[in-house]
A and B are shown apart, each in its own frame.
Chain A
């Protein structure tokens, strides 16, 4: 059963620490999205990649957030240093290369981050 895999599922850390979240997209999916979900802001698009190249990261605070795709099977989202306002659920989603630009995304189960 193909699915997007995210790790860790839960992370509690202290302010100032570095946090790295990882995502394995579905095999054959070449577009990867990072979304952040909070009660106040809902779902916000942070960044997305196609064929490992960043296409848009305008939703991401550049001073502390960074996103990369070291290879086609791994996307990472890093926060350094973390702050309490970064507490949220971070979702990774992917889209198949066979049906690009359709909006049909497959989401992972999310990484719930709590920064104390």
Chain B
């Protein structure tokens, strides 16, 4: 079945460092891809999404590009802040009648001052 694989954390960075969190997917169809973020004690929030190959999703300085040839959707940010410390989830949706979001295991990011 469809699945998402994320790099394991925790990822520990200093403020203003460059961030990459890797995400690859397996899907039989042509999914939409998402990054959700979960801040401590809160529910998940949609960070960005992309619906077709070569689309770039972006929000709050984060970016991810839908790469069909490598089945990847890596999350990047040029300069992280302490406030970016959270768990980041990559997810896919098959966009079909099932309308299910399948999540990766999550990657904890800790940004130190």
Q: Does A25 interact with chain B (Cβ within 8 Å)?
A: no
The interface on chain B, measured as residues whose beta carbon lies within 8 A of the other chain's beta carbons, has a size of 23
Q: Does A91 interact with chain B (Cβ within 8 Å)?
A: yes
A98 to B18, CA, bound (A): 36
The one of A56, A104, A108 that contacts B98, using a Cβ cutoff of 8 Å: A56
Interface size bracket, A side: 20 to 34
Q: Please give, as numbers and ranges, the residues of chain B lying within 8 Å of A107 by CB-CB distance.
A: 43-45
A100 to B49, CA, bound (A): 15
- Using A91-B43, A109-B43 as known contacts, say yes or no to A103 and B32 having CB atoms under 8 A apart: yes
Q: How far is the CB of B46 from chain A (nearest CB, A)?
A: 6
Q: Please give, as numbers and ranges, the residues of chain B lying within 8 Å of A109 by CB-CB distance.
A: 41-43
Contact string, A1-31, partner B, CB cutoff 8 A, digits 1/0?
A: 0001000000000000000000000000001
- In the assembled complex, 19 residue pairs joining A and B whose CB atoms fall closer than 8 Å, in A order, are A42-B103, A42-B105, A45-B101, A48-B99, A91-B44, A93-B43, A100-B99, A101-B93, A101-B95, A101-B96, A102-B32, A102-B93, A103-B34, A103-B93, A103-B95, A103-B99, A103-B101, A107-B44, A107-B45
